[in-house]
Amino acid sequence: MMKLFYSVGSCARASHIALEESGADYEAVRIVTKNGDQRKPEYLALNPKGRVPALVTDQGVLTENVAILAFVAQSFPAARLAPTDPWRFAQAQAFNSYLASTVHVAHAHRVRGERWADEEASYADMRRKVPQTVGDCFALIEREFLQGPWVLGADYSICDAYLFTLADWLEGDGVDPARFPRVLDHRERVRMRPAVRQVLAQEAA
């Protein structure tokens, strides 16, 4: 059985949703980052990065959403969570990589300023910038990357689970989601999926 380590409200929700959608036999293990669980020796032995998600498999431990999402989709092809055509799969990876390397990083400047600076004044400056930078990211997604009704067009995929996860941070980042009606509609449709509701209920428990 696979084991997913996650924290509530984190980006690991995307991988959690993918596992639930896939029908995989897995266990979700909650770690509490405010208690420093991610820095405990037993967790660092699994994931030296000290972050979530981490997925323990029979072949070893996978980290990073982009990798875990692709692994889940390819391990459970019957769930049809990613394209099988190489070009379309690469497009899915490009979108998810943008979420990981740009959108998530823009968000992190609000809550993880210590990664980039030491002075509190610098943290405050970063926080002030977040509504603009995150808003710019979602404006691009709204305009260019939602093929509709799902990210890749007609079929729901791992991209939708990942976009939903990050779009749920918009209000906290000071961005009005009403500015992006297509993103907002997408977010609410994903939220209603049974697998997503199951994951959200588990996180709320």
pLDDT in tens, 50-98: 999 999 999 999 999 999 999 999 999 999 999 999 999 999 999 999 9
* Number of helices followed by number of strands (H, E) in the chain: 9, 4
Q: Where are the alpha helices (DSSP H) in 141-193?
A: 158-167, 181-191
User: Locate tokens 């059985």: which residue?
Assistant: 1
Name the DSSP class of 77: G
The C-alpha R_g of the chain, in whole angstroms, comes to 17
**What is the pLDDT averaged over residues 103-115?**
90
Q: How far apart are CA 133 and CA 103, in angstroms?
A: 8
Q: Which fold has domain 86-193?
A: Glutathione S-transferase Yfyf (Class Pi); Chain A, domain 2 (1.20.1050)
Same topology between domain 2-80+196-204 and domain 86-193: no
What confidence score (pLDDT) does residue 122 get?
87
29 contacts: CB under 8 Å, gap ≥ 6: 3, 4, 5, 6
Q: How far apart are CA 115 and CA 111, in angstroms?
A: 10
User: Locate tokens 């000290």: which residue?
Assistant: 50
Q: How far apart are CA 152 and CA 149, in angstroms?
A: 8
55, β-bridge pairs: 4, 62
Average pLDDT of the chain?
A: 96
Q: Is the peptide bond before 149 cis (omega within 30 degrees of 0)?
A: yes
Q: Which CATH class is domain 2-80+196-204?
A: alpha beta
Q: Are 65 and 12 in contact (CB under 8 A)?
A: yes
Q: What is the pLDDT of residues 161-194, one digit of tens each?
A: 999 999 999 999 999 999 999 999 999 999 999 9
Q: 3-class SS at 150?
A: strand
Write out the two tokens for 149: 């009704």
**What is the pLDDT averaged over residues 148-160?**
97
Query: For the chain, what are the domain ranges?
Result: 2-80+196-204, 86-193
Higher per-residue pLDDT: 113 or 25: 25
